[in-house]
Amino acid sequence: MSRLHRIHLSVISLLAISALPVAESAMAAARIDDAPSVTVRYHDLNLDSAEGVASLYGRIHAAALEVCKPVEGPQLLDRVFWNDCVAHAVANAVRTVHNEKLSAYHWERIRGWRFR
């Protein structure tokens, strides 16, 4: 399957490392290959249609929720890390697809969310 028909979503460990004390950062610095990941396939979608773009975005968001599940927790700080994890995973996946319509859809979603 070509690279244009799937996205490999993974958590980049640098997100969590930036918030850890220096002494713990060496222990937390896992290889990116060891980070949780999900493959999102979209060969069945027409990215020239609004429905196809929205469907792919939904798949990407669902995969980001799955990938970031280990960051979930009851504490407020955990929630902040989880939100950052999901936002970065979605943004990186959207960037990987290299589709202007998907990028525009993503921009509208995050812009609308921040200004509500």
In the predicted structure, residue 93 carries a pLDDT above the cut 90: yes
Strand 37-41 to 6-10 pairing: antiparallel
What is the model's pLDDT at position 14?
A: 36
Phi, psi of 43 (to 5 degrees): -65, -20
- pLDDT band at 9, cuts 50/70/90? low
Count of structural domains within the chain: 1
Pick the range with the lowest mean pLDDT from 47-61, 74-88, 92-106: 74-88
Range of the domain at 74: 3-114
Q: What is the pLDDT, as a whole number, of residue 19? A: 40
